[in-house]
A and B are shown apart, each in its own frame.
Chain A
Amino acid sequence: MSESGTTRAGLPGDGNRVVASGRQLTWRELRTADLPSPVAVLAATGLDALAAARQHAVQGTELVLSTPSRVDAELRDELADAGFTVVRLDDGDVTVIEKGRQRAAEPERLWLLTSGSTGRPKRVGHTLDSLTTVRSTQEPRTWLCPYSPGTYAWWQVVTLSLTQPGQDLVVIEPSQLDNWAQIASEHGVTAASGTPTFWRQAIYRDSEALAKVPLRQITLGGEPVDQAILDQLRQIFPAARVSWIYASSELGASIVVHDGRAGFPQEWLDRSATDRPTISVDGDELVIRSPYHGAGLTGAVRTGDRVEIVDGRVHIVGRLNSDEINVGGSKISAGLVRHVLTAHPQVAWARVTSRKAPIVGRMVVAEVVLAPAADRAEVDEAALIKWSGDRLPDYGVPRRIRFLDEIPVKETLKSDV
């Protein structure tokens, strides 16, 4: 029994199947740990993370959930100072790493750690209810959960399975990311959510294995979504619904697009409704007023994300502080240049940045991973410069292109494009 005393007898999803850490069981069968409250749980495995999530759902434990690798000593101190007892949960065993400053728990409070604009993680307050954005009854599905425990995207998949019968879950550990498609096939995964980098990497590594996963719902989010990756997924999974979602820890899920196209219709801007987010653009910044926002946030929130409106579609192209590149007084969006590169049929992944240069101040440069079947003699720097030159103003053409052998991906499944 937690200090909050808000124990629930069971959860709607308790009978759902959970596959994690090499085991297959139901939510109800997850081992319950003896956790203090407030607690910061560093889950060693995906199964431990699910156990902590269910414990929160049943007992209302005030919880921060993360992994040992995402919480350094400085952050552990910050959490302890904020009243969280920091524990490691490993195969159900609880080890206290740092005792939290004494304070009363806030029942049913969930905290998400975000990267924060300053680079130091900050806490955003939610509840299971505010993290649950899918409320309508869903057809039975088996969901893949490749995300790092405790992130917003992870909670999105987990709350769905916890709150709706028929939503099974297959958790992918970081060590399984290389062959998640085989695991997903074995367990009959029909729905998967991942970043564009995650999907690009899956196609790059083994598109045949990917095609064997019986996917009916594909979701992309967490990074700017371009047309090329949507088209590639549509080609591999012609019968699946391919959606992209704009969501953040602060604002929740704010934009969901199902029409298979990058960007969202410009008509969606400034449409006001009490039960859905209001999306606006101020200058070139995306501004959102959301009913699903984190605790303490009110009114319109400046997202820090930059938009470009092209042919009636609003594209979220990157972060405001890094997307716009000024080349000798002419401005170009790194995101749009990236979209041009990834639209090349032989390009599997691209990152576009700028580099200090004489006369013009900065120049556009890029890193590229070619598709496995690409003819490397044919698709060289000159070919990609020509491809870009045919589609971009001269100042937007990347003048130096470095070729990488692997798509870089972080624990967040992003590659900071």
Chain B
Amino acid sequence: MAQVMKNQGKVLPDDDSADLRAIGFRSLDFSELALRVEDETGEELNFDAPGLRQIATVGDVLDFLLQLQSE
């Protein structure tokens, strides 16, 4: 997630409760992050759209991706 932010000239805050909109982490960034996770794990992620809507903070993103990988 830090790399995605860095590539966009932004910095990922240490605080997991940081609001995604406030730090400028947009849907394109989330999509990129998913591709990076897929490249790392070698597996295609299966996303649940309703679940995605509940993601609001940095911590939500990380939890969500962890959850997807454990499924």
A binds B: yes
The interface of chain A, by Cβ under 8 A from chain B, is 327-328, 355-360, 363, 365, 381-382, 385-386, 389, 394-395, 399-400
Name the distance in Å between B55's Cβ and chain A's nearest Cβ.
10
Q: Considering only CB atoms, which chain B residue lies closest to A386 in the complex?
A: B9
B27, A400: Cβ atoms closer than 8 Å: no
Prevailing SS type, chain B contact patch: helix
A353→B32 CA distance, assembly (Å) = 15
Please name all residues of chain A whose beta carbon is closer than 8 Å to the beta carbon of B35 when the two chains form the complex: 355, 357, 363, 365, 399-400
Decide: A382 near B36, CB < 8 A? Known: A359-B52, A394-B28.
Answer: no
Most chain A Cβ neighbours within 10 Å, of B3, B27, B28: B28
Size of the B side of the interface (Cβ < 8 Å), in residues, is 19
What is the number of contacts between chain A and chain B, taking CB atoms within 8 Å?
Answer: 50
Of residues 27 through 71 on chain B, the ones whose CB sits less than 8 Å from some CB of chain A are 27-28, 30-32, 34-36, 39, 44-45, 47, 52
Most chain A Cβ neighbours within 10 Å, of B30, B31, B45: B31
Please name all residues of chain A whose beta carbon is closer than 8 Å to the beta carbon of B26 when the two chains form the complex: 394
Q: Considering only CB atoms, which chain B residue lies closest to A397 in the complex?
A: B28
Name the distance in Å between B2's Cβ and chain A's nearest Cβ.
11
B31, A358: Cβ atoms closer than 8 Å: yes
Name the distance in Å between A104's Cβ and chain B's nearest Cβ.
56
Please name all residues of chain B whose beta carbon is closer than 8 Å to the beta carbon of A358 when the two chains form the complex: 30-31, 34, 45, 47, 52
Q: Which of A356, A382, A399 contacts B6 (CB 8 A)?
A: A382
Decide: A357 near B6, CB < 8 A? Known: A328-B28, A400-B39.
Answer: no
Prevailing SS type, chain A contact patch: mixed
A400, B32: Cβ atoms closer than 8 Å: yes
A360, B31: Cβ atoms closer than 8 Å: yes
Please name all residues of chain A whose beta carbon is closer than 8 Å to the beta carbon of B8 when the two chains form the complex: 385, 389
Can you offer 10 A-B residue contacts whose CB atoms are under 8 A?
A327-B28, A356-B44, A357-B32, A358-B31, A359-B30, A359-B47, A363-B35, A389-B8, A394-B26, A400-B32
Most chain B Cβ neighbours within 10 Å, of A327, A328, A385: A385
Q: Considering only CB atoms, which chain B residue lies closest to A385 in the complex?
A: B7
Please name all residues of chain B whose beta carbon is closer than 8 Å to the beta carbon of A355 when the two chains form the complex: 35
A400, B36: Cβ atoms closer than 8 Å: yes
Please name all residues of chain A whose beta carbon is closer than 8 Å to the beta carbon of B34 when the two chains form the complex: 357-358
A357→B30 CA distance, assembly (Å) = 9
Decide: A363 near B7, CB < 8 A? Known: A358-B34, A358-B52.
Answer: no
Name the distance in Å between B5's Cβ and chain A's nearest Cβ.
11
A328→B27 CA distance, assembly (Å) = 9
